[in-house]
């Protein structure tokens, strides 16, 4: 009965047969057949299904509450025992667009090499995607994690890096301290703009008010391109600027000062339990890539 019970729990967790099929990589008709088989075996209706809605009956709610943890434990044990070479199916991931080049390109290459039967559907976007509503099994987010019912795991830490183009730096030799920043043209992303920033140099800490907004973007790529074009100073994540600095397109400003606001990269799943092995494999690949890059990010951040 385990496959039938697992199918029923997957549908309850996802809220629909369609979402459960996407999340588990199982055909929707197979899930439906398994749930019907479970209802026949128990002699009770667990779900009320219409073309537009899915309601869990009182008996179904009771079964879901009592069976969720034991089934999750059993599936996790099976997943740990299963050979990693046999991972297959589809994992739908929503990720911050700023991670695409530095993190996701190498991660996808590694997954293709290590798990050739695993398929990843990646949505790299600026906005925060609702995982459950849009059928995603994994989210990879940057910044700070808001209060949420989602289960998050911190994969890496980072701080913003102040950068500008070489031409801008030559034209503004008067920028000598964080206290000088409010007098200059600042470029912000909507996620990084703040009224007060704290900088640290050794044991010295300096708070700077950023009351004036100049250009504010809702796309990290546009912010990077504007900094490259010499429009002003940008505060960007190290995974966005590392390559630009190495190629000489951007210059790090005030390298003796560190932006004292630690942020993170988080792996986010809708539920703590019943995380499929294929989802865990993708999450581990992202964690490994972030871990490899962490020393470089630390050096860039000061």
**Domains (ranges, CATH) in the chain?**
2-81 (1.10.10.10), 85-155+264-292 (3.40.190.10), 161-261 (3.40.190.290)
CA distances from 67 to 2, 25, 55, 206, 274 (A): 10, 21, 18, 54, 12
pLDDT for 21: 84
* Rounded-to-integer distance, Cα 259 and Cα 235, Å: 9
**pLDDT band for position 156 (50/70/90)?**
very high
Helix (H) or strand (E) holding 293: helix 277-301
**pLDDT band for position 136 (50/70/90)?**
confident
* Rounded-to-integer distance, Cα 244 and Cα 200, Å: 24
- The 10s digit of each residue's pLDDT in 248-270 is 999 999 999 999 888 999 999 87
Tokens of 216: 């504010």
pLDDT for 168: 95
**pLDDT band for position 274 (50/70/90)?**
low
pLDDT > 60? residue 193: no
Among 101-105, 141-145, 206-210, the range with the most confident prediction by mean pLDDT is: 101-105
Residue percentage of the chain with pLDDT more than 70: 88
- The 10s digit of each residue's pLDDT in 45-70 is 999 887 677 889 999 999 988 888 88
The chain-wide mean pLDDT, for the chain, equals 85
pLDDT for 108: 95
- Please give the full DSSP string across 55-76, using - where no structure is assigned: EE-HHHHHHHHHHHHHHHHHHH
Q: What are phi and psi for residue 138, nearest 5 degrees?
A: -145, 135
pLDDT > 90? residue 87: no
pLDDT > 90? residue 132: no
Rounded (10°) angle between helices 277-301 and 238-246: 60
* Rounded-to-integer distance, Cα 249 and Cα 199, Å: 24
- The 10s digit of each residue's pLDDT in 198-251 is 999 999 999 988 766 566 666 677 889 999 999 999 989 999 999 999 999 999
The pLDDT of 102-131, averaged and rounded, is 88
* Rounded-to-integer distance, Cα 177 and Cα 156, Å: 28
The pLDDT of 135-150, averaged and rounded, is 81
């Amino acid at each position: 009965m385990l496959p039938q019970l697992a199918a029923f729990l997957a549908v309850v967790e996802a809220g629909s047969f369609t979402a459960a099929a996407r999340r588990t990589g199982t055909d929707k008709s197979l899930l439906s057949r398994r749930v019907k088989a479970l209802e026949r075996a128990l002699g009770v209706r667990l779900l009320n299904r219409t073309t537009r809605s899915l309601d869990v009956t009182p008996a179904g709610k009771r079964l879901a509450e009592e069976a969720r943890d034991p089934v999750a434990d059993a599936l996790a044990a099976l997943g740990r025992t299963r050979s990693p070479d046999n991972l297959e199916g589809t994992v739908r991931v929503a990720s911050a667009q700023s991670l695409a080049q530095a993190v996701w390109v190498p991660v996808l290459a590694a997954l293709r090499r290590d798990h050739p039967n695993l398929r990843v559907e990646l949505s790299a976007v600026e906005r925060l995607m609702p995982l459950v509503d849009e059928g995603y099994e994994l989210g990879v987010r940057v910044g700070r994690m808001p209060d949420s019912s989602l289960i998050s795991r911190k994969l890496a830490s980072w701080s913003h890096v102040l950068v500008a183009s070489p031409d801008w730096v030559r034209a503004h030799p008067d920028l000598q301290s964080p206290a000088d920043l409010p007098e200059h043209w600042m470029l912000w992303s909507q996620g990084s703009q703040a009224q007060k920033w704290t900088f640290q140099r050794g044991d010295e800490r300096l708070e700077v008010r950023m009351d004036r907004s100049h250009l504010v973007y809702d796309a990290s790529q546009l912010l990077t391109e504007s900094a490259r074009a010499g429009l002003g100073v940008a505060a960007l994540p190290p995974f966005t600027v590392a390559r630009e600095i190495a190629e000489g397109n951007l210059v790090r400003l005030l390298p003796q000062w560190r932006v004292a606001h630690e942020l993170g990269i988080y792996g986010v799943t809708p539920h703590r339990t019943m995380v499929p092995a294929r989802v865990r494999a993708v999450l581990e690949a992202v964690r490994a890539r972030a871990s490899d890059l962490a020393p470089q990010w630390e050096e860039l951040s000061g």
